[in-house]
Amino acid sequence: MNNLSFDINSSKDFLNKLIEDFKDYLKSDNSSRMALNCAMTSWHLSEWVFHEYELGGQFSKIKDFQKHLKELCPSLQIMHDISNGSKHYKLNTHKPKVKETERKTGTFDKTFDFSFDRTMLKIVMPNNQIAVFDEELEKTIAFWKEFMNNLDS
C-alpha cells in the first residue's frame, strides 16, 4: 500500500484516477497538461500493479515486467516515452520509440472525428507513422482494465 498518495491506496484506485483524468482530458480542448498527467498515470500504474500483486516471483525485476506489458500493449511504450520525455528535460538513458509529439491545431473542433482536420495531440513514431494521443490512451485504459481483471480472477 502506498501511504503518500492521500486516498489513492491501491492499483484499482490508481486505475480509477486514470479513468477520471481521461474523462477530464476529453472535456478539455486537447490539454497537454491533462494528457501528460494521463500518460504518467497510465505508465506508472505498472509499478503499482507489480508491487501490489507481488509479481516479483514471475519477473525478477520490475523492468522485466514493464517490458512484458509493452509487448502485450504497445501503447504503453508510447505512455512510457511521453512520461519520461516530459519528466526529464533531456533523455540520457531512456531511448524513446516516439520520435516527437505536437499539439496540432486543426480547423474542426473535437465534435468531429480524426478523419477531419481537427485539433489533436499528435504522436510521431520513428517511421513517421502518426498516432493520436486519445486513441493510444484509450488502448492503455482498456488494457489495464482487462489485465487487472484477470489478476483478480
Is residue 105 situated within a structural domain? no
What is the pLDDT at residue 5?
84
> Of 119, 80, 77, 79, which is closest to residue 102 (Cα–Cα)?
119
Is residue 116 situated within a structural domain? no
Is residue 27 situated within a structural domain? yes
Burial of 55 (0-12, 13-18, 19+ CB in 10 A): middle
How many Å apart are CA 103 and CA 31, to the nearest integer? Answer: 9
Is residue 115 situated within a structural domain? no
- Per residue in 34-93, pLDDT (tens digit) is 999 999 999 999 999 999 999 888 998 999 999 999 999 999 999 999 998 777 666 666
Is residue 112 situated within a structural domain? no
- Which of residues 66 and 115 earns the better pLDDT score? 66
Q: How far apart are the first and last CA of the chain?
A: 20
Structural domain boundaries, residue 47: 11-92+134-152
Is residue 6 situated within a structural domain? no
Domain count, the chain: 1
pLDDT band at 95 (very low <50, low <70, confident <90, very high): confident
Is residue 121 situated within a structural domain? no
How many Å apart are CA 85 and CA 98, to the nearest integer? Answer: 9
